[in-house]
Structure 1
């Protein structure tokens, strides 16, 4: 079985594949203070919870945008699984052309998402816009020919809301759910109105400009922790695929295994 691990700034998502089938997946915090042993005990617990044993894992692939977490994770793979993991980075076959000024600057998560989106939707022969709603929200543009053009990056809705709470004296921390209307008569709903409707507007504007620059009817795909929430409030998102990153990791492993 293949263990896939995607390390984000806030959360890490892991999944276990039996061939092309995703058997189970887990989400946990990207704790920079965790040791290899702590990661190993956690992964062992998750596998046991799913009725699996660590001896069933034959291969591991990792993508990470958090270097301090990558090192103990790699040590964990070698110590607990006796496997040297494949790490997403320069030199791997991905099946895409990176038309970026400096490809080394592209986050591993953005590449992995693009690989999965191209594999799943290339048959539609439409350009694609991939939105990953994580700690940061990333917009990636991909041509139907498999050319990755780049995109846009902005603060995620979670850290935007948290900044409002931390940098003001009287505003509370709130749950990110859409209010019923824009004009609200209490502080909590007023904050929800500003954050949620404002973010919907941000999405629509960037998508509209990217579609115009792509010169066609681009397919808009959302993923990440807030993917479903944001898709419910705007009509510019065509598909929501929460497992896009894990699928991309599986595909990259398949392209590079010996």
Structure 2
């Protein structure tokens, strides 16, 4: 048994693997707090699960990363390995500064291409919305980063005197009948329109119709209105961590 952990800005995704098979997965809020510790104690309880052979982490959240490392070391006496530091990403990155591309984007891209083996667009709809392109040889070509729906709502509340912060859902109508409805409609339909238009522009520039895969907390919300999305895969990042980890093992230990 080994653990894959994807530490994001809003959520931590934990996968418990038996060899190549994802046995179970969990998602918890990544804010350092008592609830985070309690959730880790429930999911990764040394009394309930065996000591992992390895713990492999992909992280874009340094503060929470330290918290998780300390928990793993204290309870399992294992030093986690990090994607990008201890384990290289087995993917060519064709950007101006490959070393600055977020590990979350790369593990998503790795898992998506493993599934499609062709030109692919990956949409990660989380705290930020990333739209990334992988070519037909499996190289990461670059992408787009935009605000996610949640932080758009937070920004409206923070930078105005009277507008509330609200959770974003799919509206029944585009026409908001109150302040909350107007905000919800603006952020939801604005995001759908933005992502749809960006996909269209990318397809025109690439001169092909890539496979389009969505992941992240708001992926299903977007996919319900963006028909070009061919699959919604909540555990895409865990799959990318698995691929990188397995390819880095000595050949006699790979399945």
TM-score by length of 2: 0.90
> Relative to structure 2, which stretch is displaced further, 52-61 or 78-87?
52-61
Instruction: Give 1:71's match in structure 2, choosing from 66, 70, 81.
Output: 66
Measured in 1, the distance between the counterparts of 2:7 and 2:186 equals 30
Conserved in 1, the CA contact under 8 Å of 2:132 and 2:142?
Answer: yes
Gap runs ≥5 in structure 2? 251-255
Does 2:138 align with 1:146?
A: yes
Q: Which residue of 1 aligns with 2:43?
A: 46
CA-to-aligned-CA distance 1:21-79 (integer Å, 9 cap, x gap): 22211111222467xxx97764342145xx98342422110011111222232232222
User: Which position in structure 2 is the counterpart of 1:217?
Assistant: 209
Q: Is 2:79 the partner of 1:84?
A: yes
Tell me what 1:114 maps to.
109
Q: Say whether 1:196 aligns with 2:188.
A: yes
Q: Secondary structure at the match of 2:12?
A: strand
Q: Which stretch of structure 1 is more off in the superposition, 135-144 or 66-75?
A: 66-75
Q: How many residues align?
A: 250
1:99 and 1:148 in contact (8 A); partners too: yes
Query: Against the structure 1 CA distance between its residues 119 and 41, is the aligned structure 2 distance closer, same or farther, given a 3 Å change threshold?
Result: same
RMSD: 2.1
Change (3 A) 1:159 1:39: closer
Q: Which blocks of at least 5 consecutive residues in structure 1 are unaligned?
A: none
Other-structure match for 2:164: 172
> Matches of 2:105 and 2:47 in 1, distance apart?
30
User: Pick from 240, 245, 255: which aligns with 2:237?
Assistant: 245
Q: Which moved more, 1:128-137 or 1:62-71?
A: 62-71
Question: Is the Cα–Cα contact under 8 Å of residues 135 and 158 in structure 1 kept in the other structure?
Answer: yes
Per-residue deviation, 1:147:
1.1
Q: Deviations over 1:150-177 (max 9, x none)?
A: 1010111110011112222222232311
1:150 alignment partner, SS class: strand
Is 180-189 or 20-29 further displaced after alignment? 180-189
Alpha-carbon contact 2:32-2:67 (below 8 Å) kept? no
Say whether the 8 Å CA contact 2:125–2:217 is kept in structure 1. Answer: yes
Give the TM-score, by structure 1 length.
Answer: 0.89
**Superposed displacement of residue 119, structure 1:** 0.9
Rounded to whole Å, the distance in 2 between the matches of 1:153 and 1:47 is: 33
In structure 1, what is the Cα distance between the partners aligned to 2:40 and 2:165? Answer: 31
1-side partners of 2:209 and 2:157: how far apart? 38
Alpha-carbon spacing, 1:200–1:140, altered in 2? closer, same or farther (3 Å):
same
Change (3 A) 1:147 1:186: same
Query: Counterparts of 2:232 and 2:103 in 1: how far apart (Å)?
Result: 20
